[in-house]
Amino acid sequence: MMGRALLGGILGGVAMWVVGFIFWGTPLNRLALSVAPDAANAAVQSTLAQQLGPTGTGVYAVPWPGTQIGSGLYAQGPVAMGQFNAGGFPVVDGGALIGGLILAVIAAVLVAFAIYRLAAPLSFGRRLTLVGLFAIAIPAYIHLGQIVFNHAPAGYFIYSFVCDMLSFLAAGAMIAWMLPKPAAAAAKPVD
């Protein structure tokens, strides 16, 4: 039975990765991203290199609200929270795709072991309900919380929420389906 949980986790991780790829590795991602003209992009990129290049790769609140001047500028706007990579990387990065698949499998295997330990005796529908509630609650807090707490752009974070929710639902459905029927699960102790 543990083998079925492991297999369900691996298959669930692949399902999670596929959903994530559909959302972020295809032109569908343009629903989440704002696009500036090339001239504006070049100007912003040059300014980023000049102003943030010396301080290095990191996540920056611009302006920094931790000083009196920065706090005033932050309240005045415009503001940004930016992920800055001083070195850049390819638009399509095979290493990131492989790393993402490994991460998805690890996450789904952890979910599979949790379901195996706590919910194996439940029916498929109840297991799926359990996974579904977590698949909604956790990404909602993480992504929609950005809109609430950081006044972040709603479109991007709603898109991210939908992607992660569907990714975890796909993984959870695969995991719940792979575990044995409740009668078989009840016959063997979980511990």
Return d(Cα 38, Cα 5) in angstroms, integer. Answer: 49
Q: Which of 148, 84, 107 has the alpha carbon at shortest distance from 115?
A: 107
Distance separating alpha carbons of residues 169 and 76, to the nearest angstrom: 41
52 domain residue, yes or no:
no
Residue 54 in any domain: the answer is no
Q: Over the stretch 47-77, which tens digit does the pLDDT of each residue have? A: 999 999 999 999 999 999 999 999 999 999 9
The pLDDT of 6-34, averaged and rounded, is 95
Is the pLDDT score of 40 beyond 80? Answer: yes
In a domain, 76, yes or no: no
pLDDT at 94 over 90: no
Stretch 78-97: mean pLDDT? 87
Q: Which residue has the higher pLDDT, 98 or 82?
A: 98
Split into its structural domains, the chain has a count of: 1
pLDDT at 191 over 90: no
- Residue 96 covered by a domain: yes
Q: Is residue 81 part of a domain?
A: no
Question: Per the domain annotation, does 165 fall within a domain?
Answer: yes
Residue 106 domain boundaries: 2-37+92-187
Q: Which of 183, 177, 184 is nearest to 5 (CA)?
A: 177
| Residue 71 within any structural domain of the chain | no
Is 85 part of a structural domain of the chain? no
pLDDT-derived band at 160, boundaries 50, 70, 90: very high
- Distance between CA atoms of residues 164 and 68, nearest Å: 38
Position 183 scores a pLDDT of 61
